[in-house]
Amino acid sequence: MRKTLALAATSLTVLAAAPQAAQADALALPEPTGPKPVGTTSLHLIDSSRPDPWNPEADKRELMVTLWYPARKATGKRVTYMTPQESAAILKPYPDVAPDALTKVRTYARLDAPMRKGRMPLVVMSPGFTFQRATLTSLAEDFASRGYLVAAVEHTYESVATFPDGRTTTCLACVKGQDGGKVAASRAKDVRFVLDELAKGRWGKVIDRSKIAMVGHSMGGNSAAQTMLADPRVKAGVNLDGTFKPIVEPLDRPFMLIGAPPLHTPDGADDSWKRSWANLKGWKRWITVAGTDHSAFVDYAVLRPQLGIPAQEMDGARALRITRAHLAAFLDRHLLGKERPVEDFPEVTDHG
């Protein structure tokens, strides 16, 4: 688990107080780049076979999952980025920022828009530790606009999450010295359960089960590798700037590393990437992007500057453009068998 200057419930306090906030109406994610309109819906899933790993009073594991998909047409209302409870918890350390600011972020997916027909490849997404699944929205909307079904998992009690009955859970797992290996193992179980549930009913009829990938940020990237080791259904994986804990055991399927320098360069302080790299036996790639920080690969790349909160050196829209381009090429190659060149971004260094 990497501690970062991030917009997350347990890490906000390490930042200086924000200057006067930008107008909430100006908060917006970049538009999807694919040709298809995007629909979205949420699922509340209950795993009765497993007690919650973080809440000793819960005898079953409850998860919220957001789905994005290519739609036939852009009908329906735009979804709220975060609930008022989630927004207030995230922004609590920032008295100059309106507590409900993150409820007003402009997104592009339409709630319950009619879905396109035909089977689709699936991309499972896992956020960073303390980060909400909503922080993956700009990536997920882009994937869906390109024809992918996307499922972002909220790992309950690792962040702030609101359930359909109005409950808002907090980060019970956020304790000093938390074991990253334990978190990743729990997340792998979460994802395997979600895959089982998506194989049923409506979604089982549209998912191409031979084409499943997992993309994760931070702890989510660590968990992508652990999930692949535990479940052969996941054919390819990506780690966005996450420390590997434990070190990845030999893995023979495609895996990509995208990170911020200097920590995640081959001679950087996080040697878990170098040690795990040797055990990646399939197709693999390792790049770093100059001018980024840990949160520059998710929505906070653009939201932090818009809120007046310290951010990465690189323009946030460009950081997401670079991340989207490399992820789209990776998914197209390994799920669809399509080779697509990526623009030559001068900020990107290829380490292998």
**Domain architecture of the chain: domains with CATH:** 12-350 (3.40.50.1820)
Q: Buried (b) or exposed (e) across 180-199, using 16+ Cβ within 10 A?
A: beebbbbbbbbbbbbbebbe
Compute the average pLDDT of residues 74-97.
94
pLDDT tens track for 266-313? 999 999 999 999 999 999 999 999 999 999 999 999 999 999 999 999
Answer left, alpha or beta for residue 166, where phi above 0 means left and psi between -120 and 50 means alpha.
left
pLDDT score at 6:
38
pLDDT score at 25:
57
Determine the 3-state secondary structure of 96 from DSSP. Answer: coil
Q: Which DSSP category does 334 fall into? A: I
Angle between the 219-230 and 180-198 helix axes, to the nearest 10 degrees? 60
* Residue in this structure with the two tokens 């419930």, named with its chain if needed: 9
Compute the average pLDDT of residues 312-331.
98
Contact predicate 309/95, CB 8 Å? no
pLDDT score at 22:
45
Determine the 3-state secondary structure of 40 from DSSP. Answer: strand
Dist CA 340 CA 34 (whole Å)? 14
Q: What is the pTM of this model?
A: 0.93
For residue 340, count other CB atoms closer than 10 A to its CB. 12
pLDDT tens track for 194-247? 999 999 989 999 999 999 999 999 999 999 999 999 999 999 999 999 999 999
User: Kind and range of the H or E element at 320?
Assistant: helix 316-331
Give the pair of three-digit tokens for residue 343.
Answer: 């623009």
pLDDT tens track for 126-165? 999 999 999 999 999 999 999 999 999 999 999 999 999 9
pLDDT score at 26:
84
Tell me: pLDDT of 16 over 50. no
What percentage of the chain reaches a pLDDT higher than 70? 93
Contact predicate 103/84, CB 8 Å? yes
